[in-house]
Chain A
Amino acid sequence: MFLALTALVDEPRHGYGIVQEVERLSGGRVQLKIGSLYGVLDRLAGDGLVELDREEVWRGRLRRYYRLTDDGARILEEEAARLAANAAAARSRLRARGLSTRPAGGPA
């Protein structure tokens, strides 16, 4: 859910666009199935965190674009802050133990 919301921060995306963006954001670790994606979208739309932006027809097929709502952005911000605090606490403990920590986004 966190990655799906993140995928909609910069621009509205359609179903498969969200799948691709989530995969990109997670470095290929998370590959959403279509059934799972729509389960997530149902939940996010039900909670008012995403909403329909527009509909387009691409190569004769329907694409529905979803965008992040203000509530969605606020929830994502809170969740990001919580995860960042957890990560900072882990780094701090590791440093105290004498282990160096890689900067975020560094090579695995």
Chain B
Amino acid sequence: MTAAESSSTEHLEERVDDSEPVLLERRYRAALRLLPASYRAEREEEMVAAFLEMSGDVPDERGPRPRWGELASVAALAVRVRLGGAGARAAAWGETVRLVALLGLAFQAMLGVYGLVGRAAAAAAHLPTPGAATSPIPVVADVLWIVAFAAAMRGFTGPAKVVAAAAGAVSLLLIGAGPAVQLTLAAPPAALMASVPPLALLAGFHAEAPATVRPWRLLLPPVAATLPLVLLSWAPVPWDSAFEPLLALSSLLSPDGIATVACAVAGIVALRRGWAPSARLALAAAGLLLLAWRLPMAWPVPGAEVLWGPAAVLCGVLVTVIVPLVVTGTRLLPPERRAKPGRAS
């Protein structure tokens, strides 16, 4: 501790005066708890002083509260410090959130391509598509997710945030308008899957985040993964027959089934090849989202093992991969660094 800091602390301890208003100060300090402890250790006193100078002396009897704008600015600072502030640990968390955003958008884009191609093929053949809706709103959602994914991957993060937020809002509306039985089982994970990518995009791609333009070829996997499914759905295979292996396979050959397998394989590769902690944690988060998505399908129903069995197996695989990803990813994160204000030389 420097002489100046030691002197500051002594004076601060002398300050205690029972007649002074303390309520506003207490509330400001509570708001500052949004910030990491290391940051507060360095900044809290001067920030509280600045808050109170700005507010003036307000007696406790008037029940003073921090202004909403100030609270929002502290929340925004907390996001920035946690996801991109000083130190390698914050940078790793920031990269984790950005990867979660991109993986979530990739999944939604995959569903979007699958939905659009399926509808187009059905329309061209004048055949009904399973689950196809007559409303154009699902098409709007599909297109918005694809555009958001492409924009985020190519570095247009500003437009990507707007489009992803719109896509999330439309998808949530569609989920809310679904049938009651769907609302009880599949709606919460679907709502999570529609909310997390835009939120992660907003939080992770902040002003200080490194601008990265990913190559065009990385946009292809979500498209490539869905096309075989579309072709298979038009193949002359009796998917709806009672032939059990086919039924079991049909539950795996869906966009979320493919995504689950891809996530599990990527997780194993990440563990074996020593990928960075941010990649491990992002894959674990993506795996958790897919696990939540898959769980309602894995609910045991007597006599329908062929349907929930494969889903349960995939859930088990996901759990097996997620746990070591979280453990090793957390353990490999760089140590937390104390934030220091710039020192005079």
Contacts and interface: CB of A to CB of B under 8 A. Distances in A.
Nearest to A50: B342
Nearest to A61: B49
Nearest to B77: A35
A103 interface: no
Interface in A21-39: 33-39
Contacts of A58: 49
Interface centre among B14, B80, B345 (most CB of A within 10 A): B80
Contacts of A74: none
Interface string B3-14: 011011001101
Nearest to A53: B344
A57 B70 contact: no
Contact of B53 (A16, A45, A52): A16
B190 to A, nearest CB: 34
Given A38-B77, A42-B85, A63 B341 contact: no
A82 interface: no
A interface, over-half SS:
mixed
Contacts of B43: 38
B175 interface: no
B interface, over-half SS:
helix
A93 interface: no
A55 to B, nearest CB: 4
- Category for how many chain B residues contact A: 35 or more
B253 interface: no
Interface in A52-104: 52-55, 57-64, 66-67
A47 B278 CA distance: 25
B12 A57 contact: yes
B8 A62 contact: yes
Interface residues of A, number: 34
B69 interface: yes
B199 interface: no
A61 B54 contact: no
Contact of A34 (B8, B12, B74): B74
B36 to A, nearest CB: 12
Contacts of B5: 55
Contacts of A44: 342
Contacts of B73: 33-36, 39
A63 B76 CA distance: 23
A99 B5 CA distance: 57
A55 B8 CA distance: 7
Nearest to B341: A52
A34 B51 contact: yes
B46 A15 contact: yes
Contacts of A66: 341-342
Interface string B60-91: 00000000011011111100110001100000
Contacts of B47: 15, 34, 38
B15 interface: yes
Contacts of B14: 60
27 contacts: A14-B46, A14-B50, A15-B50, A19-B54, A34-B54, A35-B76, A36-B73, A38-B43, A38-B77, A39-B76, A42-B85, A51-B343, A51-B345, A52-B342, A52-B344, A57-B8, A57-B11, A60-B14, A60-B15, A61-B12, A61-B45, A61-B52, A62-B8, A63-B46, A64-B46, A66-B341, A67-B344
Given A52-B343, A61-B49, 13 more contacts: A15-B46, A15-B47, A16-B50, A16-B53, A34-B51, A34-B70, A35-B70, A36-B76, A50-B342, A55-B4, A55-B5, A64-B46, A64-B341
Interface of B: 4-5, 7-8, 11-12, 14-15, 17, 43, 45-54, 69-70, 72-77, 80-81, 85-86, 208, 339, 341-345
Pairs of residues from A and B, 8 with the lowest C-beta to C-beta distance, nearest first = A60-B15, A35-B73, A45-B342, A33-B73, A61-B49, A51-B342, A15-B50, A57-B11
